[in-house]
A and B are shown apart, each in its own frame.
Chain A
């Protein structure tokens, strides 16, 4: 970052002397390698293609690289430069942007309008008076900063449109409605915000009631929210403003200590902040968004309301997807289907993926952070709408799912017979094994096995079952009938829920008997750890995975201990440790033995730091996504002539007749690479969001 700052500083100091309203000419810089050498002496004044060409600069801030390339591919170079400058500098006025980027004011304003409309940039006035005019009559300065939400909406646009369309229309039965839903999502995302009445007015072929019903569904599920000015204010600025107002409102001659004043201001500001942030949902509940049409008596969206996409709600959807896939791997397909149904029921009311309070400065204080996390844990269990039971699931479970025979509760009579005859299959009868073992008392007396004439297994099984029931309170097991014809039988669903609750990974927890909730606060860190381990195993190998897990379980280990735990040779372990350390999977603690800390006498200990490892993985994935977008745009630029030719109106549809064979082959290659690149971007995004968003 300091390098980029230096470059900007140098270029600004050089052009200060010869500043024009347009772009000034600079002497050729040998380090500049412009792609379009138009023969003039104009050099690149901006921190744009020159620095992007340098791989090292791109890695300094992977997110800046990603977002700038993303915006370049969607909105053009000007928007990309503005976004990059805002990411690197924090917040700037439009004049400062114009000075730094050397773009005229009008272009900067137009660019800012586009970015603000798409919610890629948010703004805050300098005084926070809420109006454009200061008290002394001068106009307020507005500071612009980048808004990650808008950028992520663009990045996930394909994902959003496809997933939400499939969410509402799993089968292809209602093709017209499915197409309309896709169009609504496409247009709302492309315009940033949209009034339903404008959309209805432009679609004369479709009935208004159908369109309004689709909008109402999206609003009720909270994927669309009312577009208010609060969405354009940075959360941290909002918090700071509220806090300072509360603090300043306490009279100065108050008898409270400063610490108490601050605490009081924080509490009040927290309440107001959460009230403002959650306002969209409260407005929904007050039914200002959804109204009843007087003519048709059907529900529709209020004509004056502009709707925008609610990304935090989409993150809840993605979180549920990840949890379901995790459950499918760990617990099996049918339990994951049941969990998916449970998540669909409770998703809307579930706690936010990232609490709004985590965007404030409260996280800098440990007490506050612990308080926030404790509150989140309580909300997971106590918030209305997050609890579910087997009856709820049986109502919402898909009709194609058949749970009959998915749970084995007790030994069948056939299995019992085979066990008694001694021709049992060992893998079937776990209950048989204890009967083969001889019991020994403390005195050394060995309990002899029962004679064959007595049927021991029935009693033993009953005893074991009873013990098991006592331990696990399995009242429902008695009612699971293997001959039950009901495919969505409640006892079977309950058994699956218990499996999910009692497994090695707690996917659900029992709040009350029969009522469950999803413990996101403990489940999501588990998901991150497992995903990270899978990535390490896939990229660095099983040995690295084994070593990492040994270190994690034992917290701080020496190399000698690691050799014994991992059962690997010393020299193998060293190479594995070096690769893990290179990727920040393992940290090294030096333990000097002598006063001069000589390395030959030191012992090195190894441990893992999850947050550091995950951050590195996140940056790595971010850079790779950005690199894919960058290379894709380069590919399109290299083939721009051919693509322009292929997009001509007379050529479209008749490529086979009008293009040369070599051109057809080239076009096919470009399109295949485009499809492959975007698919890889999507696959990387699904990994990146685990570390970034969840």
Chain B
């Protein structure tokens, strides 16, 4: 087949050197007319079966990235990049970092994997850690598939709420709690103001202690509405209150 005169290739055959009686304008002129627009297929929503496959794939990929066969980057990191994550300063948050290669500590590199030597050429033996005798195969436990992603339902419900709305919700929760406590107090124990106050103070103190211990992110502790102020309740009697 010769396309030299026939338009210089199949793709250009219709654009130039068309057969007698035809012209490019014939093809182009119908662009906006009756040629039906093709509705392109749209991806259907994910089925459960497809979701299982995807989650298995993601799990497997994570295992390989954290496994002994991961080879890393070609370029060694520059000094600046190394200092970004390993500058020699110990930090509190270091223990929470997910260092890829150190998860499977018993088999972090190919030196420690128990290979079948007869399957490899001899020239690769030096890097296979033949001298290490006690090699353990570090199997990976299959994570439950839903562990990969955080709870999306919860996220869907709460996503979009601003911090202000969250604080409002917290405040409403507290009010409900207080109301419940008051109702319980009326039903069961006779109220003595002082004791109530002391009890409330104790509860508040406990609440404050809990805040101090675990919750660094509770913005409320910085915003004290004065409910905990006991100064007004103290009956010194002698000095006027200011």
| A contact set with B: CB distance below 8 Å | 22-23, 36, 38-40, 42, 46, 48, 73-79, 81, 94, 101, 103, 106-107, 109-114, 116-118, 123, 125, 132, 139, 142, 154, 157-159, 161-163, 179, 182-183, 186-187, 189-191, 193-194, 198-199, 202-203, 227, 229, 232, 306, 538-541, 543, 571-572, 574-575, 577-578, 581-582, 587-590, 597-604, 644, 646-653, 655-658, 661, 664-665, 667-668, 671, 674-676, 678-680, 682-683
Contact = CB atoms under 8 A, between A and B. Distances in A.
B69 A117 contact: yes
A56 to B, nearest CB: 16
Contacts of B46: 675-676, 679
B5 A598 contact: yes
A600 B61 CA distance: 58
Contacts of B240: none
A572 B155 contact: no
Nearest to B16: A599
25 contacts: A40-B78, A81-B74, A107-B71, A109-B124, A111-B71, A114-B110, A117-B115, A157-B56, A158-B58, A159-B53, A182-B142, A227-B119, A229-B119, A572-B35, A600-B20, A602-B5, A648-B97, A648-B98, A649-B96, A651-B96, A656-B155, A675-B46, A678-B58, A679-B51, A683-B43
Nearest to A674: B58
Contacts of A599: 5-7, 17-19
B27 interface: yes
* 5 nearest A-B residue pairs (beta carbon): A158-B57, A114-B69, A78-B71, A158-B56, A76-B71
A126 to B, nearest CB: 11
B60 A581 contact: no
A76 B72 contact: yes
Interface string B104-123: 00000010011110111111
A159 B67 CA distance: 20
B80 A38 contact: yes
| Chain A binding surface SS class | helix
B133 to A, nearest CB: 15
Interface stretch (B156-164, B180-188, B228-236): B156-164
Nearest to B81: A38
Nearest to B69: A114
Interface in B18-71: 18-20, 22, 26-27, 30, 34-36, 38, 40-41, 43, 46, 49-61, 63-65, 67-71
B60 A157 contact: yes
Contact of A661 (B114, B127, B163): B163
Contact of A682 (B34, B53, B67): B53
B195 interface: no
B139 interface: yes
Given A40-B78, A186-B60, A202 B2 contact: no
B124 A112 contact: yes
B61 A665 contact: no
A132 B122 contact: yes
Interface stretch (B146-154, B196-204, B205-213): B146-154
Contacts of B10: 581, 587-588
Given A601-B20, A650-B96, A110 B127 contact: yes
Given A38-B81, A77-B74, A227-B119, A198 B51 contact: no
A190 B155 contact: no
B189 interface: no
A425 to B, nearest CB: 36
Contacts of A581: 10-11, 13-14
B19 A602 contact: yes
Contacts of A653: 150
B1 interface: yes
Nearest to B67: A190
Contacts of B113: 117, 191
Interface of B: 1-3, 5-7, 10-11, 13-14, 17-20, 22, 26-27, 30, 34-36, 38, 40-41, 43, 46, 49-61, 63-65, 67-76, 78, 80-81, 93, 95-98, 110, 113-116, 118-124, 126-128, 137, 139-142, 149-152, 154-155, 158-163, 217
Given A113-B128, A116-B124, A571-B30, A582 B67 contact: no
Given A114-B69, A123-B121, A158 B53 contact: yes
Nearest to B115: A117
Given A227-B119, A674-B58, A162 B124 contact: no
Contacts of A154: 64
Contacts of A657: 217
Contacts of A306: 116
Contacts of B36: 541, 543
B217 A183 contact: no
Query: Chain B CB within 10 Å — which of A23, A114, A602, A665 has the most?
Result: A114
A593 to B, nearest CB: 10
A187 B140 CA distance: 7
Contacts of B55: 158, 675
Nearest to B126: A109
A540 B61 CA distance: 35
Given A76-B70, A186-B59, 7 more contacts: A74-B61, A78-B71, A113-B124, A203-B139, A574-B26, A647-B98, A678-B53
Query: Chain A CB within 10 Å — which of B18, B71, B127 has the most?
Result: B71
Contacts of B6: 588, 590, 597, 599, 602, 604
A116 B65 contact: no
Contact of A680 (B43, B68, B76): B43
Contact of B14 (A203, A578, A683): A578
Nearest to A95: B123
Contacts of A649: 95-96, 98
Nearest to B111: A110
A541 B1 contact: no
B203 to A, nearest CB: 23
B159 A46 contact: no
B38 A540 contact: yes
A183 B141 contact: yes
Contact of B74 (A78, A113, A683): A78
Contacts of B161: 661
Contacts of A574: 14, 22, 26-27
B140 A142 contact: no
Nearest to A584: B10
Contact of B118 (A229, A598, A665): A229
